[in-house]
Amino acid sequence: MKQETLEEVAEREASLFYEKGSLDWNKYRQVFIEGAKCKEERICDSEVIQRIRASKSDAEARRIIKTISE
């Protein structure tokens, strides 16, 4: 089974609501892609924070997390 790319999924999802190639279809597709990328970044950030907490003392972990969050 072939794994779909993010762009292919976005196109399929946009086609459920709008005519392919229309302005609304393009907007929905772009927003879908941006939302997926944002969610991926949050997941990655969460994993990094968990690794910091696991490998540092509480005080040091809080300091590092505060620094990277600013």
Torsion of CA 64, 65, 68, 69, to 10 degrees: -150
Per-residue pLDDT band for 61 (boundaries 50, 70, 90) equals confident
**Residue span of the structural domain in which 14 resides:** 6-69
Number of domains in the chain: 1
Residue 1 belongs to a domain: no
Count of C-beta atoms within a 10 Å radius of residue 10: 21
pLDDT (tens digit per residue) in 11-60: 999 999 999 889 999 999 999 999 888 888 888 788 888 888 888 888 88
Whole-angstrom distance, CA of residue 57 vs CA of residue 62: 9
Residue 22 belongs to a domain: yes
**Which pLDDT score is estimated for 30?**
92
Per-residue pLDDT band for 68 (boundaries 50, 70, 90) equals low
